[in-house]
Amino acid sequence: MSAAVSTAPRRAWSFRQPSVIPGFGLTLGFTLTYFSLIILIPLIALAVRSAGLGPEGFWKAATDARVLGSLRVSFVTALIAAGVNVVFGTLIAWCLVRYRFPGRRIFDAIIDLPFALPTAVAGIALTAIYAPNGTVGALFAPLGWRIAYTPAGIVIAMIFIGLPFVVRTIQPILEEVSHEVEEASATLGANRFQTIFHVILPSLMPAILTGFALAFARAVGEYGSIIFIAGNIPFVSEIAPLLIYIRLQEFNYVGATVIATVMLLISFAILFLINLIQAWSRRRYGYGN
């Protein structure tokens, strides 16, 4: 057996339960080695670079006006996009689970398109549509509204990449919600509206919150689909990942590292929040994935 097993203290508690199946040391050893080489060591390198700045240096770089501006753009647009996705994602999940209509399976499959379509392709396609001479952009141009090359374009791209996270989180839960509670609610005199808003939606709340957090986290980090449509004007439509990229092009590794560290800390906080929601939902409703 390899190092993974032998490092465990012997009698006090056992690192693993006995099993007749072979290969534990080999597979866990490989898993941990591969994980360390690909993910852990590079992330530690980032943390070390950041720490090397000292608290004051880090604070000074992190509160640079352009950095704060890009973080604000990223977080505000991601919040709006995740909000839109929650409303329409819940509605889409509802229709796909509860109603039967022609083409339902095809639309169900298309939900995953943003997972499969490379972000750069989505980016140039969305730009072509929402540019002032594009299919949708041309409808708004006479009104003086510009979508592409403004923060509105960023929101559109973020809606595109975030939608499947919301739908795919809510769908399986909605399938599990028992019909009996709705019947009970109706029997007790609730109208349909009351049943939906007081019975069904509250039990979907953990899934909706998780979907929101996932869509938000993805939108904040997104780069490829946004940079084409954003216009990339500092303080207006420059997102934080783009500023990291720009700093790297300038060989300003310190600047890039600081923005990356701030973003990582925030995404880990979101990840922690998602785990909390799911733990809470397992206790409260007995499900969570």
Partner 1 sequence: MATKLRARLKRRRSPTSESRPVQLLLIGISLLFMAIILVLPLYAVFHEALSKGIGTFFAALGEHDAQAAIRLTLLVAAIAVPLNVVFGLAASWAIAKFEFKGKAFLITLIDLPFSVSPVISGLVYVLLFGAGSFLGPFLKSYGIEVLFALPGIVLATIFVTFPFVARELIPLMQDQGTGDEEAALSLGANGLQTFWRVTLPNIKWGLLYGVLLCNARAMGEFGAVAVVSGKIRGQTTTMPLQVEMLYNEYNATAAFALASLLALLALVTLVLKSALEWRFGEEIAAGNH
Q: How far is the CB of 171 from partner 1 (least distance, A)?
A: 9
The residue to which tokens 């509105």 are assigned:
152
Q: Which of 68, 75, 80, 88 binds partner 1 (CB under 8 A)?
A: 88
Regarding 174 and contact with partner 1 (CB under 8 A), the answer is no
Q: Which of 7, 56, 118, 286 binds partner 1 (CB under 8 A)?
A: 118
Q: How far is CA 35 from CA 4, 16, 38, 39, 49, in A?
A: 14, 20, 5, 5, 20
Regarding 22 and contact with partner 1 (CB under 8 A), the answer is yes
Regarding 163 and contact with partner 1 (CB under 8 A), the answer is yes
Q: Give Dmax over CA atoms of the chain in angstroms.
A: 77
Sketch the per residue contact string, 226 through 245, with partner 1: x for CB under 8 A, - otherwise.
Answer: --x------------xx-xx
Taking residue 53's Cβ as centre, other Cβ atoms within 10 Å add up to 17
Regarding 204 and contact with partner 1 (CB under 8 A), the answer is no
| DSSP, residue by residue, 233-278 | -TTTT--HHHHHHHHHHTT-HHHHHHHHHHHHHHHHHHHHHHHHHH
Contacts of 63 (CB under 8 A, 6+ apart): none
Contacts of 192 (CB under 8 A, 6+ apart): 186
Q: How far is the CB of 227 from partner 1 (least distance, A)?
A: 8
Q: How far is the CB of 224 from partner 1 (least distance, A)?
A: 4
Q: How far is the CB of 103 from partner 1 (least distance, A)?
A: 8
Site size toward partner 1, by CB under 8 A: 97
Regarding 12 and contact with partner 1 (CB under 8 A), the answer is no
Q: State the angle between helix axes of 151-176 and 65-98 in degrees (0 to 180), rounded to the nearest 10.
A: 40
Torsion of CA 89, 272, 48, 244, to 10 degrees: 20
Q: How far is the CB of 156 from partner 1 (least distance, A)?
A: 8
Q: Which of 2, 132, 146, 267 binds partner 1 (CB under 8 A)?
A: 267
Q: Which stretch in 19-27, 56-64, 143-151, 230-238 sits in contact with partner 1 by CB under 8 A?
A: 19-27
**Burial zone of 20 (CB within 10 Å; 0-12 exposed, 13-18 middle, 19+ buried):** exposed
DSSP 170: H
Regarding 198 and contact with partner 1 (CB under 8 A), the answer is no
Q: How far apart are the first and last CA of the chain?
A: 33
Regarding 122 and contact with partner 1 (CB under 8 A), the answer is yes
Regarding 43 and contact with partner 1 (CB under 8 A), the answer is yes
Q: Site residues for partner 1, window 57-86 (CB under 8 A)?
A: none
Regarding 176 and contact with partner 1 (CB under 8 A), the answer is no
Q: Site residues for partner 1, window 127-146 (CB under 8 A)?
A: 128-129, 134-136
Q: How far is the CB of 176 from partner 1 (least distance, A)?
A: 11
Q: How far is the CB of 60 from partner 1 (least distance, A)?
A: 20
Taking residue 115's Cβ as centre, other Cβ atoms within 10 Å add up to 10
Q: How far is the CB of 250 from partner 1 (least distance, A)?
A: 13
